[in-house]
Every structure is written in C-alpha cells, then in structure tokens.
Amino acid sequence: MLEITDLHVHYGGIHAIKGISMKVEEGQIISLIGANGAGKSTTLRTICGLKEATKGSIKYEGVELTKLDTSQIVKRGITMVPEGRRIFPNLSVYENLMAGAYLRKEREEVKKDIDYVYGLFPVLKEREAQRAGTLSGGEQQMLAIGRALMSKPRLLLFDEPSLGLAPVIVKEVFQMIKRIHSEGVTIFLVEQNAYEALKLCDYAYVLETGTIVLQGTGKQLLEDERVRKAYLGG
Amino acid sequence: MQHLVNAISLGFVFGLVAVGYALVYGVVKLVNFAHGDVFMMGAYMMFYASVLFGFPWLAAVIFGIALTALLGVGIEKVAYRPLRKYPRINSLVSSIGMSFLLQNFAVVVFGGIQRSFPVPEMMKKTIILGEVRIQSVSIYTIIFSILVVLLLTFILQKTRIGLAMRILSTDFETARLMGINVDRTISFTFALGSALAAVSAVFYALRYPQIFPFMGQYPGSRAFIAAVVGGIGSIKGALVGGFLLGMLTVLLPAAFPEYSGYREALIFALLVIVLVFKPNGLFGQEVGEKA
Ligand SMILES: Nc1ncnc2c1ncn2[C@@H]1O[C@H](COP(=O)(O)OP(=O)(O)O)[C@@H](O)[C@H]1O
Ligand SMILES: [Mg+2]
C-alpha cells in the first residue's frame, strides 16, 4: 500500500531522516518507535506532504506522494492524528469534525460519518456545541481521532497518541486504534510507548537519529535484547 | 441626539476599517500598515469610475469595491507572500513600505490636490425630526454597516471558506492537514479585508467628500487604535473599539467644546489605559486561544 524508499529529509542544515525504507501492507498495523528527536514525526509529516523530502520516494498505491501537496494526499485517503492532537480550540467540537471533512463534497455521507464518530465517542456528541479547547486531554485526543476519521482515510497515521494522557485513557486510545483497524483502516503508529505499540502491531521499525536500526514483527522486537534495554526499561 | 447619530455612524466607519485590520491580523498575524492606504485607493477608484468613466454612482461604488479587493489580493501576493516563511517583522516592514508606495503612487498618478468625491442627492438630505437634524448619510452608514457586519459574520461562521479562515487563524500546519489551500484562503482574506476598507471609504468620503492621497492615514491610525483597544484579531473587539473611538471623536468636542483640543490626547490615554489593564485588548484572549 505504502512504500518508502531511501527517504532523506533536512531542516536547513539538519539531516533529520537519513535514507530510511519501509513498507506498509494494506490491512496491517505498522509501528515506528524511537526516542525523542529520532525523526518519527518528520517521517509522518513527510508522508502527508507537510514537509518536503530532499531525496527518495514515497509510493502510495503506485503514486509518488513526494510530488503532491497535502490536500491531494488527503484526498487519496491518507491522514494523520498529529502529535499533541492539534485540535482547533476556538472551534466547536462539531466544527472540528467538519474541518476533518473539509475536502469532502457529499453532504449526506459526511453527516453519516459524523454520526459514526459520535457513535464511537459519545462524549463528543454530548459536547457537540462546546468549544474544543474546553475538553479534557483525553477528550481532545478522541476529537483528534474523530476529526481524522472524517476524511475517510484508508491509511491513518498516529503520532504519539498516548502522549501526556492518564494510563486509563491510554488504554482506551489503543483500544480505539484496534477498533478502527478492525473496520478496515490500515494503521501507521508512531509511539514512544514502545511496549503497547509493539504488542499491537504486525510489524515494527526502530528509528534512531534518522536511521532504521532494527525491524521485525512486534513479537520479535518485544523479545529483542537491544529493544528491551533501550525502549522497554530492561 | 444628532451628535449621537453622528457619533454612531462615525463609529461604524472606524469600526469597519478596524474590522479589516482585525480580519487580516487574525488570519495571518500581520499588522497591515497599508490598510489605510488601500482605503484611500478604494476612494480614488470609485472617484475615477464615476467621474472619468461616467459610471452611475452605485455601479462606481461596486466597481471600486471589487477593484480594491483585487488590489488587496495583489498586494498580499507581491509584498507579503514571499516573506511568509521569514519572521513576521519582515512582512511588517514590507507593509509600511507598501503604505508609502501607495501614497506616493497616488500623489504621482492621481495628483496631490484634493478631489471631490461624488455624493448622490439622496445622501445629502438632512432629516428634520422636530428639534433634531440628522444627516441622511449617517442613517445610511449605520444601516449598511450593520448589514456588512452581518454578512461578514455569516461568511465567517457559516461558510466553508469562513471555516478555513478560522482554522488558519489558529494553526497553519494542521489547516493544511485538513486539506485547506492556505494561499487561496489568505488571498480571500485580503480580498475581504480590502473590500471592507473600500466600503468604509465610501461612507467616509460621503461624510468628508474631499479625497486626497493621504486621506487613509487618519482613519487608518484610528482603526489601528480601535483594533488594538478591542483586542487585535478579534472582529467583535475591532467593532467595539471603532465604536468607542467614533463616540469619543464626535461626542467629546460636542459635550465639552472648551476641551476639544485635547481629543487626540484623550484617545491615546484611552489606548494606554486599556492596554495597562487588559494587555490583550478588551476582547483579546489569552495567548493560545485567539478569537
Ligand atoms: N521544525 C524544525 N526545524 C528544525 N529542526 C527540526 C524541526 N522539527 C524537527 N527538527 C529536528 O529533526 C529531528 C527529528 O525530529 P522529530 O521528527 O520531531 O523527532 P521525533 O518525532 O522522533 O521526536 C530532531 O533533531 C529535531 O530537532
Ligand atoms: Mg515527534
């Protein structure tokens, strides 16, 4: 579905991604783990066209994404739940969801999808008219996920969805990711919470300062000595 | 009473110019110092459309508004867009340069002398109600300003492009992630802000029919103060700020003729007082949750 080959990304003089290659098959959950500053967010932002690649290719169903702008990429069925949620605090919960459907024209379908999202997250329905900035951290994460779903993605990228949330909520978030996956959406999950991410995924990559140092099935990596040491606290 | 009507209508004029500032600031975080000069250009375009091309008054006004909107879009393209990826101070300086450019362009091309803005007969009338005499232009100003504000509110709250503008005002990158075309939305914002400047120029010129290349400076600075007092970036605040200034400008000399010389000082005192107690302006919100 998605194939990244020898991707390089720079921020001015900083070489943030140094020639990574990875593959996402349709229907899978792929995890990308790594420490702070490893380049995880940069990878996701480059897939979405928010950051330009300096070299290499990102192919999605045969189409080269590095030449497209974000709106064209979103139209093709990719979107992201960004790091730190990035909901629009001054807009109502409903308007945030409508923002996710910004590119879609079919009003009836959009309406149905709003109801679908409200079904997944009843709390959003309750707070429909409320300013999104007044929601709790967990609710904001639900809203960010709901907003992403409103674009009807087939490939959904998550950038550290568990960041800054209470353990109970983290559990809910991972359950929700599983549920969205079970409804046919392919998942690309970036996490620092390596244990949960590895448990959940079909295949995983470990990123260190812009380079992929390890890869394997979630099970393999959970048992890997180096992963245990560096990311699972022994 | 007549002073009150007069004050309200001037308040609306300042308010509309201020809303134009606030709109652009709210979306792109740029204090557009050329706004007052766009206002001036609007007045000239209407003048020429009417006097030179002989357009009927209303057609000239609509033509002028449309052309001014285009001018705003053009200014953004050449003077601000190329600087967008640099620190904001660059665009700020660019807008000051644009202000001088427009003023000098007007002096050279339109001439430094004052021109008489055409005022249709129906705007010249004075309505007499018993003791009070109200100029019909004040009434028209109030009615149309309210309509313009309602229209603007509708665009911002109920349309797709309005949603895009509100999203852009908080977060460019996530706006792009939603598929919003940032360039097009910013162009539209400038078109709208400049059209507002042109609309307010009509009302201003009906009231003070002598137009000249520097006519934008006074209402421009007034509107800037109004926008700051109201909380820059806040539409509601800009309107209220404009209102306050219009009131002060008209009512102060009327109530205390002997102190009218202190008017400017008082207006700046108001600015200082508001900023001391509410650094973000009357309707400005805390950083991180902009209106
Ligand atoms: N906007 C930026 N400007 C300059 N450098 C950046 C920017 N964003 C990220 N970087 C740098 O790129 C590298 C990777 O960052 P990032 O992708 O955010 O890592 P992660 O998401 O894994 O924590 C870091 O060295 C970071 O300092
Ligand atoms: Mg990150």
pLDDT tens string A110-150:
999 999 999 999 999 999 999 999 999 999 999 999 999 99
d(Cα A146, Cα A102) in Å, to the nearest integer?
A: 13
Distance from CA of residue A199 to its chain's centroid?
17
Q: How far is the CA of A159 from the centre of ligand 2 (A)?
A: 7
**pTM for the whole structure:** 0.89
d(Cα B212, Cα B204) in Å, to the nearest integer?
A: 12
Closest Cα to atom 7, ligand 1: which residue?
A11
Residue B260 lies in a domain: no
User: Residue B113 belongs to what domain range?
Assistant: 2-213
Nearest residue, CB atoms, A99 vs list B178, B181, B291: B178
Residue B187 lies in a domain: yes
Summarised one tens digit per residue, pLDDT across range B49-108 is: 988 888 898 999 999 999 999 999 999 999 999 998 888 889 889 999 999 999 999 989
Residues A204/A216, Cβ–Cβ less than 8 Å: yes
Q: Which of A11, A207, A231 to mutate to test the pocket of ligand 1 (most atoms within 8 A of CB)?
A: A11
**In the prediction, which pLDDT does A234 show?**
61
Cβ pair A88:B170 closer than 8 A: yes
**In the prediction, which pLDDT does B285 show?**
58
Residue B284 is classified by DSSP as P
Residue B133 is classified by DSSP as E
Residue B165 lies in a domain: yes
Least confident range of A56-60, A97-101, A226-230: A226-230
Residues A141/A170, Cβ–Cβ less than 8 Å: no
Cβ pair A80:B176 closer than 8 A: no
The number of domains in chain B is 1
Q: Which of A48, A52, A75, A90 to mutate to test the interface with B (most CBs of B within 10 A)?
A: A90
- Average pLDDT of the residues of chain B: 87
ipTM for this prediction: 0.91
Residue B238 lies in a domain: no
d(Cα B212, Cα B43) in Å, to the nearest integer?
A: 9
B160 contacts in A (CB within 8 Å)?
102
Reading phi first (left if > 0) and then psi (alpha if -120 to 50, else beta), residue B196 is in: alpha
Is ligand 1 within 6 A of the CB of residue A14? yes
Q: Other CB atoms closer than 10 Å to residue B222's CB: what's the count?
A: 23
Residue B88 lies in a domain: yes
Is ligand 1 within 6 A of the CB of residue A42? yes
Residue B34 lies in a domain: yes
d(Cα B234, Cα B169) in Å, to the nearest integer?
A: 11
Cβ pair A70:B167 closer than 8 A: no
Residue B76 is classified by DSSP as I
Residue B85 lies in a domain: yes
As to burial, measured by CB atoms within 10 angstroms (0-12 exposed, 13-18 middle, 19+ buried), residue B243 is: buried
**In the prediction, which pLDDT does A123 show?**
95
d(Cα B267, Cα A109) in Å, to the nearest integer?
A: 54
Residue B289 lies in a domain: no
Summarised one tens digit per residue, pLDDT across range B235-255 is: 888 888 888 888 888 887 777
Q: Name the range with the highest mean pLDDT among A193-197, B182-186, B228-232.
A: B182-186
H or E segment to which residue A123 belongs: helix A122-126
Q: How far is the CA of A190 from the centre of ligand 2 (A)?
A: 8
Closest Cα to atom 1, ligand 1: which residue?
A11
